Amino acid sequence: PEECLHDIIEGGFDRAFDFFYLPTDFATKKNKGYAFVNLITPAVAARFRQTFDGQRLTRYVTKKVLEVTPAVTQGFQANA
């Protein structure tokens, strides 16, 4: 998870989110290929999507491309 967080922060989103969850498969010690990030404003969410959608994270040895999509239920409190 630290590598993914590092890429998000390096992308200009330090303190731009209040929740991050990257599920891990404990058998393989690898992430499951998706994450949940709660960004603090709709404008930040739009910028995040512009920055990461269709990109590859360089810290991972994969050719997978990121797809950023909004959740059906928006906001930290609504999901708590």
* 5 class by beta-carbon count within 10 Å (0-12 exposed, 13-18 middle, 19+ buried): middle
Query: Can you give the pLDDT at residue 23?
Result: 93
pLDDT above 80 for 1: no
The mean pLDDT value of the chain amounts to 88
What is the number of residues in the chain?
80
Express as a percent the part of the chain with pLDDT over 90.
57
Q: pTM above 0.75?
A: yes
